[in-house]
Amino acid sequence: MKVVEKDKVISGMLHDELKRCQEMLNSLERSICEIPKGSLNERKKRYKSKVYSYFYLKYRDGEKVISKHIPNKEVQKIMKNLELRKKYEKEIRSYKKKISYLNKLTKTGKKSGHGNIAKE
């Protein structure tokens, strides 16, 4: 990585980029906490001659698996949010990958995680 070491403009840009990615990752991780997680499932119940269906959200909370009933009027909203969560998760993965790459390039990487490199 001789170019990175010698050229202070390129080195500065890479450090800035690393800092930007870390800030964005932190904000993405904060944002995703507010979006419901899990998968939406439909359960069908027979009662006498009729079949009733209802939706429930299944997600993990630590070691517990929770099934939460979702009223019909909230199903669309939950589906939309789960879709949005997928986008956030994809973006988070992409930033983590980039941070790992930039850490290698700038040679400031530490094994402890992603959040403390640019503050050095």
Partner 1 sequence: MEISLKNKNVFPPEVMDLLEAFYSVGFFDESLLIGSWVMPIYQEAFGIQYVLRTMDIDFAVKFALSDRDRKTDLERVIIDLGYIPVVMQSGIRKFTRENFTVEFVAHRKGGKDDQIVSIRKWNITAAPLPFVDLLLGFSFVADMGSFKVRTPLPEAFFVHKLITAQRRLEEGKKDKDLDQCSIIARQLDPDRLDVVVGSLKLSRKAQKALRASCEVIDFPPQKLKLK
**Matching residue, tokens 């879709």:** 83
Task: Say whether residue 96 binds partner 1 (CB under 8 A).
Answer: no
H-type alpha helices, 1-120: 2-6, 8-33, 75-106
Residue 5 identity (one-letter amino acid):
E
> In the window 52-91, what residues touch partner 1 (CB under 8 A)?
84, 87-88, 91
Q: Which is nearer to partner 1, 54 or 98 (CB)?
A: 98
Residue pair 18/99 in contact by the 8 Å Cβ criterion:
yes
Using CB under 8 A as the binding rule, whether residue 19 contacts partner 1 is answered as: yes
Residues that bind partner 1 (CB under 8 A): 8-13, 15-17, 19-21, 23-24, 26-28, 30-31, 84, 87-88, 91, 94-95, 98
